[in-house]
Amino acid sequence: MKEKNVKRTVWISGILVLLCVIAVCVCMFLFLSYIRGFREVTDADSYDKYYVMITKDRKSAFWQSVYQGAYQRGLEENAYVDLLGENLSEDYSREDLMRIAISSGVDGIFVEADEGERITELIDVAVDKGIPVVTLFGDSTHSKRCSFVGVGSYNLGREYGRQVLKIAEEQEKTKEKGEIQVAVLMNAYTMNSGQNIICSGIQDAIEQEKTGETEFSVSYITVDDTNTFAVEESIRDIFMEERLPDVIICLNELNTTCVYQAVVDYNQVGQISILGYYDSDTIINAIDRDVVNATISIDTEQMGGFCVDALTEYYLFGNTSQYFTADVTLIDKSNVAQYLKGGGEGED
């Protein structure tokens, strides 16, 4: 009997010790989480303003660079800028992140917008609650946003059009005259008026500035932009067609990278000219290797800085400039060397 009691006591003691160990571990985890959260809050609370940036693809090099520009300018203005969603466990939609920002009562929102009803309504909700909103890259013209930061879409389109004419002139020297097929990739689920303005610029430049006898046929191909895989599939479908475009114009970083990869995969290097968007290392190296003809470089850090400038003006004067336009630069074979990694001012 005594032996059984001893065993029972040892067994109970072992369970109690195990429970104590588990309790200590849980307490340590909760304590560390609390300290981590406390530090994050106090970091933001030590600034005069707390702004958040909301984008659809916050992991891309383009948006990371825009964010860094906003973050650094925020430090200069004693404002903390957070790329909302970056440290969250779930992949929230842009609309969900807008609701989180509104509920949190932030001091300002920078959002990659479009003309869709949902994003317009959420911008208006934020403004009605006293949170100023700056639309970024894509605009929401019918919303109550206080400012828009982007690029001059029409001039951007005209630059693409001039590059198409330049490609045509080079082809006239080496190939028989014929119609140049130009394909412009449009995002299917992005209701961005900027895309249409760029296309108008492309058409106008080709029609007004062409000097040769070459004819041009410009088509617009919609790309499923719901995720990276969908973009890749949409672009590969283009390369399955019997008649391939002579020139493909890409209006964002992801499309440019996917088209570049497809041209390589389908052995079309030198057969299809690519006009790209943004100056990631991949795109710059593709220009250096004569796979991509040219790309439009956006001063992304300036774009991010303009977002903070807009809200600084808003809080100081009660209003701000309606439009902020970031600088753009054409990168082609003639100047790509200075943009190669370690090559100077063009370095990311």
Confidence of residue 195 (pLDDT cuts 50, 70, 90): confident
Q: Is the pLDDT of residue 347 over 60?
A: no
Confidence of residue 196 (pLDDT cuts 50, 70, 90): confident
Q: Is the pLDDT of residue 10 over 80?
A: no
Check whether residue 58 and residue 127 sit in a common domain: yes
What's the mean pLDDT when you consider all of the chain? 86
Check whether residue 168 and residue 294 sit in a common domain: yes
Check whether residue 191 and residue 334 sit in a common domain: yes
pLDDT value at position 26? 56
pLDDT value at position 86? 82
Confidence of residue 32 (pLDDT cuts 50, 70, 90): very low
Confidence of residue 19 (pLDDT cuts 50, 70, 90): low
Q: Is the pLDDT of residue 198 over 80?
A: yes
305 found inside a domain? yes
Share of the chain above pLDDT 90, in %: 66
Which token pair is 85? 């969603």
- Please count the structural domains in the chain: 2
Per residue in 239-296, pLDDT (tens digit) is 998 899 999 999 999 999 999 999 999 999 999 999 999 999 999 999 999 999 999 9
pLDDT value at position 9? 61
What CATH code is carried by the domain that includes residue 257?
3.40.50.2300
Mean pLDDT across 285-312: 96
Residue 134 pairs with which residues in a beta bridge?
110, 147
Mean pLDDT across 330-342: 87
pLDDT value at position 199? 93
Check whether residue 256 and residue 159 sit in a common domain: yes
12 found inside a domain? no
pLDDT value at position 101? 95
Check whether residue 197 and residue 250 sit in a common domain: yes
Per residue in 69-121, pLDDT (tens digit) is 999 999 999 999 999 988 777 778 899 999 999 999 999 999 999 888 999 99
6 found inside a domain? no
Check whether residue 144 and residue 100 sit in a common domain: yes
Per residue in 220-245, pLDDT (tens digit) is 999 988 888 999 999 999 999 889 99
Per residue in 132-151, pLDDT (tens digit) is 999 999 899 999 999 999 99
Mean pLDDT across 47-54: 94
Per residue in 319-328, pLDDT (tens digit) is 898 999 999 9
Domain that holds residue 309: 49-151+301-327
Backbone φ and ψ of 166, nearest 5°: -65, -45
pLDDT value at position 341? 66
105 found inside a domain? yes
pLDDT value at position 177? 58
198 found inside a domain? yes
* 27 vs 134, residue with greater confidence: 134
Name the least confident of 11-15, 86-90, 180-184, 274-278.
Answer: 11-15
Name the least confident of 7-11, 127-131, 187-191.
Answer: 7-11
Mean pLDDT across 22-45: 48
21 found inside a domain? no
